Amino acid sequence: MSKRCDIFFPESKGSVSVLAGTNLLEILQREGLPISSVCGGKGKCGKCKIKVIGETSPPSEIEKKFLTPKEIREGIRLACQTKVLGNVVLYPFLKEEKHRAKILAGGIEKKITISPSIKKEFCEIPVPSLGDSLPDWERILRACGLSYGRGSISLLQRLPKILREINFQVTIVRSKDEILTVEAGDSSAHCYGVAFDIGTTTLVGYLVDLRTGENVAVVSRVNPQRSWGQDVITRIDFVSRSPDQLQTLQGVILNVINEMILDLAKQAQILHHQIYEAIFVGNPTMIHIFLGIPPDNIANSPFVPVFRSPITGYAQEIGVRINERGLVHCLPLVSGYIGADIIAGLLVLPSLSSPKSSPFLFMDIGTNGEMVLGLSGRLIACSTAAGPAFEGGHIHHGMSALTGAIEKVAFRDDVHLEVIGGKAPVGICGSGLIDAIAGLLDLGLITPDGRLLPPEEAPSHVPTKILERVERTDSGTRFLLYRNEDKEIFLTQKDIREVQLAKSAMKAGIQVLTKEAGIEMEEIKKVYLAGAFGNYIRKESAQRIGLLPIADLNKVVSLGNAAGIGAKMCVLSYRIREKARQIAEKIEYIELSGREDFGDLFIQAMAFE
């Protein structure tokens, strides 16, 4: 019989038993414990650090590349490279993330007229008699003024009891001609909907009152799928290996969504089965995995999703914990990389065709960069692999916007840092990274071609304390952002190259859009930034590194979590949902990898001007 090992988690006071030889990343994923895993366990990112005491496989060559000898002596290991051989004690570095992440839920709200598709009505139905022997179901239809209506066998099975429970006084819940459920007595005062933005990094859920349009509650979480890779490609790679692995990641997202629904219901002091409709938006990969649909072909040319049109199903069928007969909708997609989140974000814009704001540019910068150019009613979109650099991936000391991340860097006589949570820094997130590069460009320590100058080549005006931070090492020049006795955080030449690649991909994409629309960049009247990154970056820094290709920053509007707000609008109005469908159909998608000019534009955009 194979040997079993006990794994103890002293901080969560739990333990599990696993087969000897199981790797630590797999254990943490299975137990739902947060772990940073940019590369999904391939030994390429060095982010899955964990402290372990006990009998394990010896440090691999990969670990020796990412860990210092001191870290190895202290029991720090890469979870994806370490196998358990006996009983061990594990100390994950990431704590329960729901309380620690800086997640953007709010944003610019648009005034709408509500027209929910769910109607809930209290009816006193005539009691059957010898003179009125209409069947129960037809009695319900008659109360709704319908000669024909759709229902379900499960409802018919329960209907006689419900009708007779309070003497034929019932509340009918319906969506157009479909009777979703019938409840005993008068429950018409409670009719709710939820809207979810499933981001690659974060999840936000909103609870709204479908009768009044009121925002009732909001919750957010870090997407637990991050333990299987930071970007969509790594997650597609994981789920495409077997149907079980797709089911694993679908289960992970459904579990957390259902937890969030219960949290929303708890906050609002309602019952989760009083929620009758749910809207989901997200990028195409996130939506495919959420629905358990294989996203494999999105990762390979010609990048084809399984579906594009809006999807509607029953909560029970999908496994979403609202009323089991409630409806679940996913907004439409446009392509393998332009998803329902972009469509929802566009719904929030004041107008898609007003001459006052047209042409406009809509940008959502995250692990991918999606852009839509609007011009006199035309919508042209593209997506670039911005890479996870702006989310801290592939950056030596990069991390997401969690407690301990340097989120702001200012250069005066010395470097001044702002850290999320106000504690000692443990890494740097996208907004801090862009500030740091912009500041070093201003000082002339980074050249326009992206080279970090060694101390001897630094311009003479650089303040001494800042100059002392430039260090020459065997692996190249680096800039020290923070150091104490156990931690140092620096910016490497490779980090600067990663940011250069990401920003030039974005800029070249925008140039393709303007070329396609036949306009110059200067003609753009508004730039709308959607998502957390667009909200937290300093616009001046983004402009300085060339990520915001616009001279007048007054034209830039941060929308906040436009995807979430747009999703909320769709649960409150079926008319807006229809508009979302029309927008998706109207978008002209440009696949950049199929454009001959993209490569040249990309190379030209590499320089920091």
Cβ neighbours of residue 600 under 8 Å, at least 6 residues apart?
none
Instruction: Work out how close the CB of 450 gets to ligand FES at its nearest, in angstroms, rounded to a whole number.
Output: 25
For the record, the structure tokens of 305 come out as 């999703």
Q: List interacting residues with ligand FES (CB under 6 A).
A: 37-39, 41, 43-48, 78, 80
Instruction: Work out how close the CB of 37 gets to ligand FES at its nearest, in angstroms, rounded to a whole number.
Output: 4
Closer residue to ligand FES in complex, CB, 38/428: 38
Say if residues 254 and 196 touch (Cβ distance below 8 Å): no
For the record, the structure tokens of 244 come out as 């079980």
Please calculate the CA angle 46-51-53 and round it to the nearest 5 degrees: 135
Closer residue to ligand FES in complex, CB, 47/100: 47
Instruction: Work out how close the CB of 229 gets to ligand FES at its nearest, in angstroms, rounded to a whole number.
Output: 8
Closer residue to ligand FES in complex, CB, 38/327: 38
Closer residue to ligand FES in complex, CB, 37/477: 37
Instruction: Work out how close the CB of 72 gets to ligand FES at its nearest, in angstroms, rounded to a whole number.
Output: 15
- The residue behind tokens 């901080």 is 11
Phi, psi (rounded to 5 degrees) for 90: -115, 135
Q: In terms of Cα–Cα distance, which of 360, 334, 337 is closest to 348?
A: 360
For the record, the structure tokens of 388 come out as 């996870």
Closer residue to ligand FES in complex, CB, 79/195: 79
Strand partners, 92: 50
Instruction: Work out how close the CB of 401 gets to ligand FES at its nearest, in angstroms, rounded to a whole number.
Output: 19
d(CA 188, CA 184): 11
Range list of β-strands (E), 402-525: 405-411, 415-419, 427-428, 470-473, 476-483, 488-492
Closer residue to ligand FES in complex, CB, 67/298: 67
The count of C-alpha atoms lying within 13 angstroms of the C-alpha of 165, restricted to the half-sphere facing its C-beta, is 13
Instruction: Work out how close the CB of 225 gets to ligand FES at its nearest, in angstroms, rounded to a whole number.
Output: 13
Closer residue to ligand FES in complex, CB, 22/37: 37
Instruction: Work out how close the CB of 560 gets to ligand FES at its nearest, in angstroms, rounded to a whole number.
Output: 31
Closer residue to ligand FES in complex, CB, 48/426: 48
Closer residue to ligand FES in complex, CB, 234/357: 234
Q: Where are the alpha helices (H) located in 453-561, listed in sequence order?
A: 464-467, 493-517, 531-536, 539-544
Please calculate the CA angle 435-405-368 and round it to the nearest 5 degrees: 70
Closer residue to ligand FES in complex, CB, 200/384: 200
Instruction: Work out how close the CB of 62 gets to ligand FES at its nearest, in angstroms, rounded to a whole number.
Output: 7
d(CA 448, CA 504): 13
For the record, the structure tokens of 171 come out as 């509340």
Closer residue to ligand FES in complex, CB, 42/266: 42
Instruction: Work out how close the CB of 230 gets to ligand FES at its nearest, in angstroms, rounded to a whole number.
Output: 9
d(CA 371, CA 286): 18
Q: Go through 188-211 and write b for each residue having 16 or more CB atoms within 10 A of its CB, e for each that does not.
A: bebbbbbbbbbbbbbbbbbbbbbb
Closer residue to ligand FES in complex, CB, 232/328: 232
Q: In terms of Cα–Cα distance, which of 135, 215, 201 is closest to 399?
A: 201
Handedness of CA 328, 334, 337, 343 (dihedral sign): negative
Instruction: Work out how close the CB of 66 gets to ligand FES at its nearest, in angstroms, rounded to a whole number.
Output: 7
Cβ neighbours of residue 204 under 8 Å, at least 6 residues apart?
103, 104, 105, 196, 197, 218, 219, 220, 561, 564
Instruction: Work out how close the CB of 400 gets to ligand FES at its nearest, in angstroms, rounded to a whole number.
Output: 14
Instruction: Work out how close the CB of 196 gets to ligand FES at its nearest, in angstroms, rounded to a whole number.
Output: 27
